[in-house]
């Protein structure tokens, strides 16, 4: 430990020391005045609530000493031991304080009136690991209540937040059941791309999930099945929406400060429901839903396909006789009577089907303040619309709280889930088998016992079962050592076991069945021990004026991951699947521990100091010091400070007594967070056995990565300014935030000169900056007394991203895409992920339009150093950037940004008596998509002698001859494909605007009359109908502008998002 | 109460603070990581063995550059079996050799010779070893052992710099561990000077010899370090246009030191001793690379010069009746004249000067049969430095200093062992005699071409059948081309322009 930290702790200790001394003195004073004491219990009720809702967290002050002696619990109950003649003051934010005399009463209820009768609820926001009221929270935080996301089936609950939080960009890029799309808080945080072509993907930067106070990092290996061999379900997805009390999205550094060691990508807090009723409550929430097959691509079938191919060859082949020769040489073109080639098969229809699915949740909760419990059972079963895919989840979550005295509280939680995922022949994200299978020629016979197209069999017959067993246990102990001085400790153990069984039948694998068996285990042990202290100094009027709170904790995290796999390349036959068979192919049969083993440890020390003056001026200071096992020894501990201030201007005197402002505040914050990078090997190097020399054992160092002893974690520094206000009795609430977010030390592999022996070094020299504006508006425009209740919300986030630094001070880098030549251009000062493409300006209407070199008189041409191919009518017009009349790789332009720049959503909820209807939608504006699916369709015309399906061309405007103006070059002239390649992937012709508005869901609820339902012993019952993923408003020509990769590539192999129709029932007994 | 609280706070915080350094030190189970390595001598020993493996794989595995490329380049050799690329190599047409079908072939890989990374693998690992061993706590390693390992690391990196300079001329030079800088090339004389200083500083930390016979010659010894410094001095003298006296004086000084050690000496040439010498671990061994079929450590057969100059029963199967290459009659008659007494001629050759493919080299005679058809494989350790090499360098340096007596004394040690007539010549004649004595003694030991270059005899058709012109020589025709892979991620790099 460095000495700097120790000094700080000493200061902390001294502060505690003085506080303790003061408290002790006050305690004696209190004792002297005490008379005979009685136990008093009661309840605090919100007068403004029709349902007589209770208020938790009401401060109870002993008037005689002006000392806080307690507060109400979650149900608004209090229990105190006071003198029989004591006078108690109940106060709560936004409520008029009330003073009562005990007069030896043992039990009484208190009703608090709101200060401003329209401010009905006071939001309690959790900032960090401490709970604060909305008034005192200084961070940029958005809260979503659990009820807002219920009534929609989802394998992953986070996807339901789409369009609900400004600055939280969720793209449901895949419809595969149980998989999640991309989740980004405030723009791009990592610019690294791996893979090529359609499978190029962006390094994910999911926010940190904090589930009931326990951080769960979603960026670990197990979360991304497509990246690593593994089942790939997110730990956050084991929580059903029905079990969620609320979700909070923490966006700026002030809010996420305390989660420093992994909070660089934002933090999402998930709080699950707790038991809180004396009478046990049984809730059942169930739904059945129908997933429908999305619009499939239209293809040309049967004789029309053959005729089109014949037309292509007859019209465009070099000579008439060569055309005849070509046709006669190809059996499926010339032999139209051959039964094998005389079909009209719709291959896509063999992959997709509508499915009926179900979702059931049952919870039992009960207990009182001293002891309460909740048990939740859940079942979710969804079959994918694509054959052989699906996701099912079984959960059993239990919670217990034991609170025998005000000083001591113990909370236990145990969540279990079993998840099963089937991904067919794809990996869930990409379904290349389906893509190639579905694009087979319609001339081939449909599958029966025999299948002419292997991929169809592959998608329907190969097994890919992924099972995840997830256990999540938490124990929390709270103890109040002294008055207002609390100690708390949380211990969490998480164990996730994943298995994957992938079986490929012999017919798909060259006559040998192939069996891959994988299992992994990840464990995490987490402990946080904290001390908190609250202190208040009253002013002359004896009102609390100066409020201090100090919170300090240590955090320890240890996580492990290990995966083993065995590949049995040649099993005996397609029926014996175990790997326990004689194996003739020992060379291809592999097994062992995979190289993605990780063992990660971190410790953190954090402190928070909060001060407010009459809740008017709020100051928060956080300081966090983190050490991780992957920090280089030269990098040391990382220190993350944050400072934030808030001015609640509604509490100023000049605004006192106004009737239009409900609340208003201005927030400013600055702070930083980190995210650990790399592994222990990146820091210290990997050593392994290297054979024998002179009959002695040796060890060598892995030369692929140079140890980087000064490896730093990624650091996110955010500046945020915010304004919140609510006016005209809640008719309009508005939050506005503007931010500047700088992500430094982005982890990147950098090639180094070969004289250094090592081929790469991991550097943290890359930086980018996001800045933007976020608006969140909520309105209840109708009169509160109206039987109609309408709530309308809208949010909008504008994010601008700029690349700020590259390794070695480079000003630009190009990430090559060897498959599709859709390179990515990194240049400082512009958005990081620009496409680098040929610029297509249209189609040459006639050959005379092709420019010619005035020096040589030769037409604009392409080709290598040898043969020149001159452009002519019907060819695409590519910009000749360097003006040399030769098209080559130097003529590409930086075009487009694959990242969404404006995202948001709107929604409305209308209540009328027993009915309510909710509609919500989300949108993404200013985003460029590369329509690779369309390019692939045009490319199918490139070779009429190869079997593959063809799309009808009528809907596309293409060049058909001199005088015709087409957007696309002539696809029928296949002879141009090999020389000019008019349908190359890397051109702006296929870059389209991906702006869309999506209607996410429409929900209609009907609550049964209580008098009716109580006849059946049901406390509350409602039924609902939901339709989700209803459709898009977009100019994009592809099927779905959302189901594209994070890099904006729309591949035909993507899993379609289906429309779903839900019929649901909620019962409470 | 306050005291208890105080104590509790102290306890919690200090427990966290003290425990965390240990807690954060992760020990992975799948491989060793650097933070848990370098704990004891055994770790160092294993790592050093790993460096030797890298050296062996560079010097002697496929891409046979160490011996054959040096022995055949510009040599009076006839490629009678017409192995692709080798006629180009003999004519110093390296571009042609690389373009030939063997250019990228697994066994004779001319292209691989243009890649220098594997030398830097040895240098990089040696630098890491030197740094990490220096940083080990005194409790983990004794001071004497630490010094020995550091000296061993220094020897290995300097050996590689020497081999690099001989092949490519100017090369990037660094000695810091974990280097990631894109360095440009340093002038070869400067590299040699820095290497000599680097080696001289720690030379005496190396043992003169080892008690364990299997380590004699195969692990860095003081003799090896001295031989390396002598070679580096001679190379620098060959290229330094200034006063060369200092270099030669150094060489003579080291030559005298080397011959003063009782642990080094020349064995008599007999059939048995010849086998022993080239198997290694003898008094004559200064530095060699282990090859041992009994250990399962077999070096590529394609590196051994006998691959070209031998036939059954020294190479191939019973049907291998001819050699693939032979030396010209003129050369063999000059170097090993039939009349004069020299044990080496009878011991090492069959049909020495017939000028056809019945020529047989028997120098590397440790063989063993393998496979179903009893194919003959070689099991000689590969000699890098041998005592007579160092003795002849001393003679050469002394002759250049016009110290004829010393020169004669040293060269005649080698001649006496071969039972050849001692030299009594002086001046230029003596220098030529010493040169030819090196050709003779170190025949097919990977010195021929470098001696020609070092002494500039390559410019003279009297010494070489395939001389290089002065202009070409100055432009770098004696070097190997450097692969363009060296330019990747290195803006400071330049290649050998002669070959571009």
Stronger pLDDT, B321 or A446, i.e. the higher one? B321
Cα–Cα separations (whole angstroms), residue A123 to A56, A136, A144, A248, A534: 11, 10, 11, 12, 20
CB of A43 closer than 8 Å to CB of A110: yes
Residue A244 clears pLDDT 50, i.e. is over it = yes
CB of B201 closer than 8 Å to CB of B142: no
CB of A135 closer than 8 Å to CB of A663: yes
Residue A689 clears pLDDT 60, i.e. is over it = yes
Residue B480 confidence (pLDDT): 93
Residue A578 confidence (pLDDT): 61
Average pLDDT of chain B? 90
Window B:390-429, CB contacts with A under 8 Å = none
Q: Which of B257, B252, B181 is nearest to B492 (CA)?
A: B181
Window A:549-568, CB contacts with B under 8 Å = 554, 556, 558, 562
Average pLDDT of chain A? 82
Share of chain A above pLDDT 70, in %: 88
Q: Which of B284, B275, B413, B265 is nearest to B347 (CA)?
A: B275
Residue A370 confidence (pLDDT): 80
CB-hemisphere CA count at 13 Å for B455? 22
Q: Which of A40-44, A661-665, B252-256, B494-498: highest mean pLDDT?
A: B252-256
Stronger pLDDT, B102 or A276, i.e. the higher one? B102
CB of A775 closer than 8 Å to CB of A724: no
Name the residue facing B121 among A697, A703, A750 (closest C-beta).
A703
Q: Average pLDDT in the A310-332 region?
A: 89
Residue A825 confidence (pLDDT): 92
Task: Identify the weakest region by mean pLDDT among A349-358, B172-181, B194-203.
Answer: A349-358
Residue A23 clears pLDDT 90, i.e. is over it = no
Q: What is the pLDDT of residues B261-280, one digit of tens each?
A: 999 999 999 999 999 999 98
Q: Tell me the pLDDT band of A234, cut-offs 50, 70 and 90.
A: low
Q: Tell me the backbone φ, ψ of residue B351, rounded to 5 degrees.
A: 50, 50
Window A:755-784, CB contacts with B under 8 Å = 755-758, 761
Q: Average pLDDT in the A478-505 region?
A: 87
In chain B, the N- to C-terminal Cα span, in Å, equals 84
Q: What is the pLDDT of residues A358-416, one digit of tens each?
A: 999 998 988 877 888 889 999 999 888 888 888 888 989 898 888 888 788 898 999 89
CB of A852 closer than 8 Å to CB of A885: yes
Residue A232 confidence (pLDDT): 53
User: Cis ω on the peptide bond leading into residue B313 (within 30° of 0)?
Assistant: yes
Hey, is the C-beta of A681 within 8 angstroms of any chain B C-beta? Answer: yes
Contacts of B5 in chain A (CB under 8 A): 16, 20, 481-482
Hey, is the C-beta of A787 within 8 angstroms of any chain B C-beta? Answer: no
Residue A864 clears pLDDT 50, i.e. is over it = yes
Q: Which of A260-269, A629-638, A916-925: highest mean pLDDT?
A: A916-925
Q: Tell me the pLDDT band of A900, cut-offs 50, 70 and 90.
A: very high
Residue B186 confidence (pLDDT): 95
Residue B51 confidence (pLDDT): 95
Residue A33 confidence (pLDDT): 44
Share of chain A above pLDDT 90, in %: 20
Window B:3-22, CB contacts with A under 8 Å = 5-6, 9-10, 12-13, 16-18, 20-21
Residue A942 clears pLDDT 60, i.e. is over it = yes
Q: What is the pLDDT of residues A58-105, one digit of tens each?
A: 778 887 777 777 777 767 788 778 877 778 888 776 677 778 877 777
Q: What value, to the nearest 5°, has the Cα angle with vertex A469 and ends A466 and A473?
A: 155
Residue A741 confidence (pLDDT): 93
What's the rounded Cα separation, in Å, for the pair A416 and A99?
A: 47
Sign of CA dihedral A251, A257, A262, A267: negative
Hey, is the C-beta of A27 within 8 angstroms of any chain B C-beta? Answer: no
Do A692 and B297 count as a contact with CB atoms less than 8 A apart?
A: yes
Window B:279-298, CB contacts with A under 8 Å = 290, 292, 295-297
- Give which of B40, B52, B117, B170 to mutate to test A binding, by max A Cβ within 10 Å: B117
Please give the ipTM for the structure prediction.
Answer: 0.89
Report the b/e string of A852-871 with b at 16+ CB within 10 A. eeeeeeebbbbeeeeeebbb
Contacts of B17 in chain A (CB under 8 A): 1, 5-6
How close B7 gets to chain A, by Cα (Å)? 10
Do B5 and A16 count as a contact with CB atoms less than 8 A apart?
A: yes
Q: What is the pLDDT of residues B119-166, one digit of tens each?
A: 999 999 999 999 999 999 999 999 999 999 999 999 999 999 999 999
Hey, is the C-beta of B262 within 8 angstroms of any chain A C-beta? Answer: no
Residue A577 confidence (pLDDT): 66
Do A683 and B121 count as a contact with CB atoms less than 8 A apart?
A: no
* Tokens coding A999: 């209607």
Q: Which residues contact A685 (CB under 8 A, 6 or more apart)?
A: A701, A702, A705, A706, A707, B33, B34
Question: Read out DSSP for A118-168?
Answer: T-----EEEETTEEEEGGG--S-EEEEEGGGGTTS--SSGGGGGTTTSTTE
* Tokens coding A197: 């072509």
Q: Tell me the pLDDT band of A582, cut-offs 50, 70 and 90.
A: low
Q: Average pLDDT in the A572-577 region?
A: 70
Q: What is the bridge-based pairing of β-strands A638-647 and A617-628? A: antiparallel
pTM for this prediction: 0.81
**What element of type H or E holds A549?**
strand A544-571
Residue A580 confidence (pLDDT): 56
Stronger pLDDT, A605 or A947, i.e. the higher one? A605
Residue A468 clears pLDDT 90, i.e. is over it = no
Residue A11 clears pLDDT 50, i.e. is over it = no
How close A599 gets to chain B, by Cα (Å)? 6
Residue A583 confidence (pLDDT): 61
Window B:183-242, CB contacts with A under 8 Å = 183, 214-215, 218-219
In 3-state terms, what secondary structure has residue B436?
helix
Do A754 and B5 count as a contact with CB atoms less than 8 A apart?
A: no
Do A698 and B290 count as a contact with CB atoms less than 8 A apart?
A: no
Q: What is the pLDDT of residues A764-796, one digit of tens each?
A: 899 999 999 999 999 988 888 888 889 999 999
Do B124 and A627 count as a contact with CB atoms less than 8 A apart?
A: no
Contacts of A24 in chain B (CB under 8 A): 1-2
Q: Which residues contact A322 (CB under 8 A, 6 or more apart)?
A: none
CB-hemisphere CA count at 13 Å for A977? 20
Cβ contacts below 8 Å, chain A against chain B, sum to: 201
Do A757 and B123 count as a contact with CB atoms less than 8 A apart?
A: yes
Q: Which of A723, A897, A715, A893 is nearest to A800 (CA)?
A: A897
Residue A26 confidence (pLDDT): 45
Residue A194 confidence (pLDDT): 77
Residue A782 confidence (pLDDT): 87
Residues constituting chain B: 500
How close B225 gets to chain A, by Cα (Å)? 20
Hey, is the C-beta of B175 within 8 angstroms of any chain A C-beta? Answer: no
Residue A119 clears pLDDT 70, i.e. is over it = no
Residue A61 confidence (pLDDT): 80
- Give which of A479, A680, A693, A809 to mutate to test B binding, by max B Cβ within 10 Å: A693
Q: Average pLDDT in the A292-316 region?
A: 85
Residue A124 clears pLDDT 50, i.e. is over it = no
């Amino acid at each position: 430990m460095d000495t700097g930290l120790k000094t700080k702790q000493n200061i902390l200790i001294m502060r505690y020391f003085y506080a303790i001394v003061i408290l002790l003195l006050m305690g004696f004073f209190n004792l002297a005045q005490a008379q005979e004491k009685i136990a008093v219990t009661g309840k605090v009720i919100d007068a403004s609530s029709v349902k007589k809702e209770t208020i938790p967290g009401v401060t109870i002050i002993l008037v005689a000493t002006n000392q806080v002696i307690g507060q109400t619990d979650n149900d608004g109950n209090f229990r105190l031991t006071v003198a029989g003649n004591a006078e108690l003051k109940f106060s709560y934010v936004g409520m008029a304080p009330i003073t009562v005399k005990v007069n030896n009463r043992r039990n009484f209820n208190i009703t608090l009136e709101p200060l401003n009768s329209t401010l009905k609820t006071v939001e309690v926001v959790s900032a960090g690991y401490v709970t604060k009221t909305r008034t005192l929270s200084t961070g940029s935080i958005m809260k979503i209540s659990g009820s807002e996301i219920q009534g929609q089936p989802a394998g992953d609950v986070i996807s339901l937040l789409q369009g609900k939080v400004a600055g939280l960009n969720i793209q449901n890029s895949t419809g595969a059941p149980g998989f999640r799309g991309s989740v980004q808080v405030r723009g791009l945080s990592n610019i690294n791309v791996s893979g090529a072509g359609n499978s190029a993907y962006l390094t994910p930067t999911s926010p940190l999930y904090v589930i009931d106070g326990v951080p769960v990092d979603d960026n670990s290996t197990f979360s991304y099945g497509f990246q690593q061999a593994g089942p790939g379900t997110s730990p956050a997805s084991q929580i059903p929406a029905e079990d969620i009390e609320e979700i909070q999205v923490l966006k700026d550094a002030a809010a996420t400060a305390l989660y420093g060691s992994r909070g660089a990508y934002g933090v999402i807090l998930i709080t699950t429901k707790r038991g809180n009723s004396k009478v046990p409550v049984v809730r059942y929430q169930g739904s059945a839903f129908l997933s429908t097959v999305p619009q499939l691509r239209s293809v040309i079938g049967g004789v029309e396909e053959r005729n089109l191919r014949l037309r292509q060859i007859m019209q465009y082949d070099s000579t008439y006789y060569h055309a005849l020769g070509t046709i006669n040489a190809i059996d499926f073109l010339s032999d139209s009577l051959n039964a094998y080639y005389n079909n009209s098969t719709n291959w896509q229809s063999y992959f997709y089907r509508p499915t009926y699915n179900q979702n059931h949740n049952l919870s039992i909760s009960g207990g009182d303040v001293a002891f309460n419990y909740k048990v939740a059972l859940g079942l979710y079963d969804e079959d994918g619309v694509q054959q052989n895919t699906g996701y099912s989840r079984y959960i059993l979550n239990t919670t217990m709280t034991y609170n025998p005295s005000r000083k001591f509280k113990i909370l236990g939680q145990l969540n279990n889930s079993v998840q099963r995922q089937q991904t067919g022949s794809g990996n869930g994200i990409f379904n290349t088998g389906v893509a190639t299978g579905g694009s087979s020629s319609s001339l081939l016979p449909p599958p029966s016992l025999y299948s002419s197209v292997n991929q169809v069999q592959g998608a329907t017959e190969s097994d890919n079962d992924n099972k995840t067993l997830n256990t999540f246990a938490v124990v929390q102990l709270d103890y109040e050592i002294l008055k207002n001085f609390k100690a708390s400790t949380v211990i969490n153990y998480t164990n996730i076991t994943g298995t994957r069984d992938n079986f490929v039948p012999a017919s798909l694998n060259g006559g040998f069945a192939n069996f891959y068996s994988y299992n992994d285990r990840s464990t995490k042990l987490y402990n946080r021990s904290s001390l908190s202290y609250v202190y208040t100094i009253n002013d002359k009027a004896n009102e609390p004026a100066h409020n201090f709170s100090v919170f300090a904790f240590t955090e320890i995290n240890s996580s492990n991951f290990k995966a083993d796999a065995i590949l049995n390349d040649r099993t005996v036959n397609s029926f014996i699947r175990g790997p326990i068979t004689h194996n003739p192919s020992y060379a291809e049969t592999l097994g062992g521990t995979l190289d993605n083993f990780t063992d990660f440890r971190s410790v953190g020390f954090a402190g928070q100091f909060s001060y407010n003056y009459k809740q008017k001026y709020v100051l928060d200071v956080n300081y966090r010091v983190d050490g991780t096992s992957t920090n280089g020894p030269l990098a040391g501990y990382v220190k993350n400070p944050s400072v934030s201030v808030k001015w609640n201007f509604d509490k100023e005197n000049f605004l006192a007594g106004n009737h239009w402002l409900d609340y208003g505040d201005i927030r400013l914050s600055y702070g930083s967070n980190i995210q650990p990078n790399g592994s222990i090997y990146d820091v210290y190097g990997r050593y392994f056995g290297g054979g024998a020399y002179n009959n002695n054992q040796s060890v060598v160092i892995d030369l692929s990565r140079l140890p980087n002893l000064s490896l730093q974690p990624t650091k996110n520094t955010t500046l945020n300014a915010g304004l919140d206000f609510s006016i005209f009795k809640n008719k309009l609430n508005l939050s506005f935030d503007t931010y500047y977010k700088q992500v430094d030390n982005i982890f990147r592999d950098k090639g180094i000169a070969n004289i250094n022996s090592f081929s790469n070094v991991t550097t943290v020299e890359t930086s980018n900056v996001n800045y933007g504006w976020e608006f969140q508006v909520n309105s209840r425009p109708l009169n509160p007394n109206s039987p109609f209740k309408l709530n309308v919300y809208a949010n909008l986030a504008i994010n601008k991203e700029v690349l700020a630094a590259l390794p070695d001070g480079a000003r630009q880098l190009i990430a090559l895409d060897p498959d599709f030549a859709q390179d990515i251009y990194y240049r400082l000062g512009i958005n990081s992920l620009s496409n680098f493409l040929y610029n297509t300006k249209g189609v040459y209407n006639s050959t005379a339009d092709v420019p010619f070199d005035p020096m040589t008189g030769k037409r604009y041409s392409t080709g290598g150093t040898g043969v020149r191919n001159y452009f002519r009518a019907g060819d695409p017009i590519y910009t000749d950037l360097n003006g040399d009349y030769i098209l080559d790789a130097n003529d590409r332009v930086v075009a487009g940004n694959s990242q969404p720049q404006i995202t948001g959503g709107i929604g409305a909820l209308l209540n009328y008596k027993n009915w309510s209807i909710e509609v919500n939608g989300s949108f993404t504006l200013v985003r460029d998509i590369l329509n690779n699916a369309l390019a692939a369709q045009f490319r199918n015309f490139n070779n009429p002698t190869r079997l593959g399906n063809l799309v009808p061309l009528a809907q596309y405007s293409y060049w058909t001859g001199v005088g015709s103006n087409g957007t696309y070059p002539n696809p029928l002239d296949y002879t141009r494909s090999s020389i000019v390649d008019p349908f190359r992937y890397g051109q702006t012709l296929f870059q389209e605007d991906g702006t869309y508005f999506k209607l996410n869901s429409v929900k209609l609820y009907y609550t049964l009359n209580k008098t009716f339902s109580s006849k059946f012993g049901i406390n509350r019952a409602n039924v609902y109908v939901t339709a989700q993923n209803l459709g898009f408003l977009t100019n994009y020509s592809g099927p779905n502008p959302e189901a594209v990769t994070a890099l904006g590539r729309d591949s035909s192999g993507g899993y379609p998002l289906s429309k779903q129709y839900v019929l649901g029932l909620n019962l409470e007994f | 109460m306050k005291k208890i609280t105080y104590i509790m706070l102290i306890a919690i915080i200090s427990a966290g603070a003290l425990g965390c350094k240990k807690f954060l030190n992760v020990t992975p189970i799948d491989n060793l990581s650097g933070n848990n390595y370098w704990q004891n001598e055994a770790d160092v020993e294993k790592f050093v063995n790993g460096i030797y493996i890298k050296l062996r794989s560079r010097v002697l595995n496929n891409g046979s550059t160490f011996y054959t490329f040096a022995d055949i380049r510009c040599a009076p050799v006839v490629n009678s079996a017409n192995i692709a690329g080798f006629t180009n190599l003999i004519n110093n047409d390296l571009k042609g050799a690389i373009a030939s079908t063997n250019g990228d072939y697994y066994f004779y890989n001319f292209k691989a010779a243009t890649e220098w990374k594997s030398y830097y693998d040895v240098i990089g690992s040696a630098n890491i070893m030197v740094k990490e061993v220096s940083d080990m706590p005194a409790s983990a390693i004794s001071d004497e052992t630490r010094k020995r390992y550091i000296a061993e690391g220094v020897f290995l990196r300097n050996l590689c710099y020497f081999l690099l300079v001989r092949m490519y001329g100017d090369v990037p030079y660094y000695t810091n561990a974990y280097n990631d800088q894109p360095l440009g090339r340093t002038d070869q004389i400067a590299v040699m000077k820095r290497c000599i200083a680097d080696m001289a500083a720690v030379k005496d930390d190396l043992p003169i010899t080892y008690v364990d016979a299997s380590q004699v010659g195969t692990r860095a010894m003081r003799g090896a370090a001295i031989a390396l410094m002598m070679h580096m001095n001679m190379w620098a003298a060959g290229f330094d246009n200034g006063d060369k006296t200092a270099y030669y004086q150094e060489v003579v000084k080291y030559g005298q030191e080397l011959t003063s050690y009782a642990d080094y000496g020349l064995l008599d040439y007999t059939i048995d001793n010849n086998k022993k010498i080239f198997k290694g671990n003898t008094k004559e061994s200064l530095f060699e690379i282990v090859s041992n079929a009994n250990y399962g450590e077999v070096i590529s057969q394609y590196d051994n010069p006998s691959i070209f100059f031998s036939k059954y029963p020294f190479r191939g199967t019973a049907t291998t009746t001819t050699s693939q290459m032979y030396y010209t009659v003129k050369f063999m008659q000059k170097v090993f004249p039939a009349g004069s007494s020299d044990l080496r001629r009878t011991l090492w050759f069959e049909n020495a000067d017939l000028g056809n493919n019945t020529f047989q080299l028997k120098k590397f005679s440790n063989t063993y049969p393998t496979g179903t058809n009893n194919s003959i494989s070689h099991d000689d350790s590969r000699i890098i430095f041998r005592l007579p090499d160092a003795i002849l360098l001393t003679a050469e340096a002394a002759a250049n200093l016009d110290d004829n007596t010393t020169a004669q004394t040293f060269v005649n040690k080698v001649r006496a062992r071969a039972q050849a007539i001692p030299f009594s010549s002086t001046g230029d004649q003596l220098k030529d005699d010493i040169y030819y004595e090196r050709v003779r003694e170190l025949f097919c030991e990977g010195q021929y071409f470098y001696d020609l270059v070092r002494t500039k005899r390559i410019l003279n058709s009297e010494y070489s059948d395939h001389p290089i012109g002065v202009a070409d020589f100055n432009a770098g025709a004696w070097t190997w081309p450097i692969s363009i892979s060296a330019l990747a991620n290195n803006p400071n790099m330049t290649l050998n322009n002669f070959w571009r």
